[in-house]
Structures are given as structure tokens and as C-alpha cells.
Amino acid sequence: MISKPKGTYDIYGSDGKYYNYINAVFQNVAELYNYEYIRTPIFEDSALFHRSVGETSDIVSKETYDFKDRGDRDITLRPEGTAGVVRSFIENKMYGDTNQPKKFYYSGTMYRYERPQAGRYREFTQIGVEALGSDSPLMDAEVISLAYRLMEEMGIENVTVKINSLGDKESRDNYREALVKYLEPHINDLCSDCQNRFKTNPLRILDCKVDQDTEILKNVPKILDYLNPDSKKRFEKVLEYLNYLDVDYEVDANIVRGLDYYNHTVFELVADIEDLGNASTIAAGGRYNSLVSTLDGPETPCVGFASGVDRLMIVLKKLRAEEIKNAIDVYVLAVNEEEKITALKLVQDLRWSEVKCEMDTLDRSLKAQFKQADRLGARLLILLNSEELQKGIITVKDNLTHEETKVDESEILDYIISNM
């Protein structure tokens, strides 16, 4: 038997319901905020991710799926969604559009070669938004509030936005100098990854999952203390706007994010739900004002966020397992050929009237059809009987009250629709 690759999974049954539900709510919320859909390729030139995400990042150094295609080109399966959107923005010269900023939402499959765990797979689905062309703190607040609203719309409560500022280049350079000075005497006490990051990108040490609870990292200098006046003022403005929007947030100086392209605002949405572990972080993002120019486009300020559908599915299953069911509206029961033909026509008419219904196609007995209707959670049952059909009568049973009603065959559609 051929099995699926490690770190992947099939989506079907109730998982399929959650998957479609999340995407439908996300599309609705994103379009309310006037974001338009964008789709980028699943694979891109490797240079796109190596230059944008960063050679020293864990994603590029350890997790990307890189390969040579038949044309001997270096190709990478996309590990995240932002770089592809930025590449499309540049390649299609969207920066020349008079309609600015450009605001996009996406949902797509990503790939990272990492150890599979709850809510984290090697093939996973990510939803996200990107706003390109505005440097206003208002745009930061809008993106954060969109993410916050999305969780509310899905019924995920007790969500907190953890927010920080990395400042501009001057602020980051000042902080980097202070961080290196602090870490240097302790670096040999940290993990091998941190020791390598110390040489290439010391800010990444703050994102270490191995040493995050050590006293060394708990006592590192805080980047907020090194923001220059402009960066500090900008961050305060973002927080002010979030207050107006009633977004529940807390400033967390340890939020740095794991990608090279972030500056100024960075944030994570954390769900306060028991037993989620690492899956409690359900969305994250920030501002990336230099990424477009890094990829050979014009200077363009940008901000966005992404959320893993797999983690959201875990959360929703814990919170509202009874609310997303594989239930149908109507099940039509028929046994002989005359009844089946009537059922076939009736089911089509109901479906075209946007009534979710089903009938038997496995020649089950009447008793077995009743059991199948219960398994499907049918709200109403239509019981076809040859003798009643000859009189133009159809029996409808309410599967909750168990009451039966005789309905004229010519009025059956109106009756069903009015009782849904």
C-alpha cells in the first residue's frame, strides 16, 4: 500500500467541513476590508525565498524544499505567502497603479521540511493578507484588527494580540550592538543554533525555542529601549489606534518573528485555550518596508499577517465541535422503482431550491435508510409510498419532533422550504 508522505495529511469528512468553513469566513472578512484575492505559484525561483526570507533564517537554512527542474533551474516550493505576493506586485508593476495601496488576501498550500507536530506539518495551508503601498500606522492597525475580527467571526474568543516594534534600521543597529555585547559572555551556554545565529543574525536568538526559558534570554536587553524617537512615536500611534478599535493587546518585547524582512510593528495573536501548547499562536505578522526594494522593486512600505488553517482547525474542534456538522436538510426514502423515480426528481428539485438533501443509491431496506438518515443528521424525512403517490400525497416526518404531515405532492417543495 502506498502511504502519504510524512508530515502531510488528507482533508475529508469533518476536517473538510472545518477547512471550507475557515476559508469561507476568511474570504468574507477580507473582502469586507476591501482586500482582493491573489493566487501565486506553489513553486518559485529559489532566489525569491533566499533573498526575501533570509539565508540565515531557519526556513531557508533548514526547511525549504529545493530542487532542480528539468531545465536545470533552481526551484523552491513556497514556504510562506508574502514573498510570492511581493514578487507579483513587482513583476506586474502594480506599484504604478493609481489605486493605492494594493490590498490582497490569499489562501494556499505551503511547504516546510520540519518535525511534524500538532498544528504544524510539512505541507500546510496558510491564509493571509498583504497591504502594499502605505506606511501609515493606520494600515498596521487595520491589518491587526482584520486578524482580530477574523478570530471573532469564527467564534474564537479570549484572543490577545502580542505586539512589539523592531524599529527602523537605526534602532535595530543600536539594539543589535547592545544585544551582541550582552550575549557574548553567555553564548557558549546557548544551543548550537544560537551560537551560529550569534555570528550571522543575533536577533534570531530571541526567537529560539530551545533556550527561550533560560535566564540568559529572559534578561536580554529589550528592543523597545533602543527605539529612536521616530520609531517610538510610530509604535505609540499604532497602539493608540488599536485602543480606538477595541483590540485586546499587550506589548511583548520578546516578539521578533522568524523572518528577516520585518521592521517596525510585529505581532502575534494568541488564543487563551487550555492544552493548545505551541498551537496557541494562531496568527502572526508585521511590517516589512524593505522587502519590495530587496527584490528589485521600488521602495514600498508593506504590512501583513498569516494564519495556519491547520492550527485554526485544532482550535475550532476544541471550541465548537458540535457546530460544524455533516448534517443535511432532507432525506428522501424510497424502495421500489416508482418511488425511486419520484425521489430522483424530487431530490433534484430540492437541490436546485438550495435545500441540502440525499437519497439512497445502495438499494438499502427502508429500515437501513432510516438509520442512514439519522447518521446524516437529516432535519426532515420524506417518506415515499406508492399507494400515497397514486393519490398525490407525500408524507413528511420531522426528525426532531417525530410528527408526520401529509402534504399534497404539488405543494411539497413549498412545504419543505417553509419548514427549513
Half-sphere exposure of 212 (CA within 13 A, CB side): 11
**Within this chain, do residues 288 and 360 fall inside the same structural domain, yes or no?**
no
Considering the chain, what percentage of its residues have pLDDT values greater than 70? 92
Sign of the dihedral through C-alpha 286, 247, 141, 79: positive
**Separation between Cα atoms, residue 48 and residue 33, nearest integer Å:** 28
Question: Do 45 and 131 belong together in one domain?
Answer: yes
Residue 369 covered by a domain: yes
Q: Mean pLDDT for the chain?
A: 88
pLDDT > 70? residue 326: no
Give the torsion sign (CA, 281, 283, 286, 288).
Answer: positive
Name the residue among 420, 383, 374, 372 with its Cα closest to residue 405: 383
Whether 94 and 199 map to the same domain: the answer is no
* 334 and 410 in a common domain: yes
pLDDT of residue 420: 82
Q: Determine the structural domain holding residue 197 and report its residue range.
A: 170-214
Q: Are residues 139 and 272 in the same domain?
A: yes
Q: Which amino acid is at 28?
A: N
Is residue 278 in some structural domain? Answer: yes
The answer to whether residue 325 sits within a structural domain is no
Strand 330-333, strand 357-359: pairing: parallel
The pLDDT assigned to 176 comes to 82
Of 181, 214, 247, the last residue of a domain is 214
Instruction: Give the span between the Cα atoms of 243 and 18, in whole angstroms.
Output: 32
Contact 111, 78 (CB under 8 A): yes
Q: Are residues 374 and 335 in the same domain?
A: yes
Domain boundary among 320, 351, 374: 320
127-141, 168-182, 192-206: the lowest-pLDDT one: 192-206
Same domain, 38 and 62: yes
pLDDT at site 324: 62
Question: Would you call 266 helix, strand, or coil by DSSP?
Answer: strand
Does the reported pTM lie above 0.95? Answer: no
If DSSP codes are grouped into helix, strand and coil, which group holds residue 156? Answer: coil
Candidates 185, 156, 177; CA nearest to 223 is: 177
How many other C-beta atoms can be found within 10 angstroms of the C-beta atom of residue 178? Answer: 15
Give the pLDDT confidence score for residue 407 in this predicted structure: 92
Report the CATH number at residue 156. Answer: 3.30.930.10
- The secondary structure element, H or E, covering residue 368 is helix 366-375
Q: 122: which 3 cell numbers?
A: 510539512
Domain stop point among 263, 289, 320: 320
Angstrom distance (rounded) from CA 284 to CA 290: 19
Looking at the structure, tell me whether residues 313 and 338 fall in a common domain: no
Q: Is residue 126 part of a domain?
A: yes
Q: What is the pLDDT of residue 276?
A: 65
Any domain includes 20: yes
Q: Does 401 share its domain with 391?
A: yes
The Cα–Cα gap between 103 and 30 comes to: 9
Question: Does residue 133 sit in the same domain as residue 104?
Answer: yes
As for how many domains the chain has, the answer is 3
Please name the residue that has the C-alpha cell 502594480: 94
Write down the pLDDT at residue 323: 56
| pLDDT, tens digit (0-9, with 9 covering 90-100), for 225-274 | 889 999 999 999 999 999 999 999 999 887 876 556 788 999 999 988 77
pLDDT greater than 70 at residue 42:
yes
Q: Is the pLDDT of residue 347 over 60?
A: yes
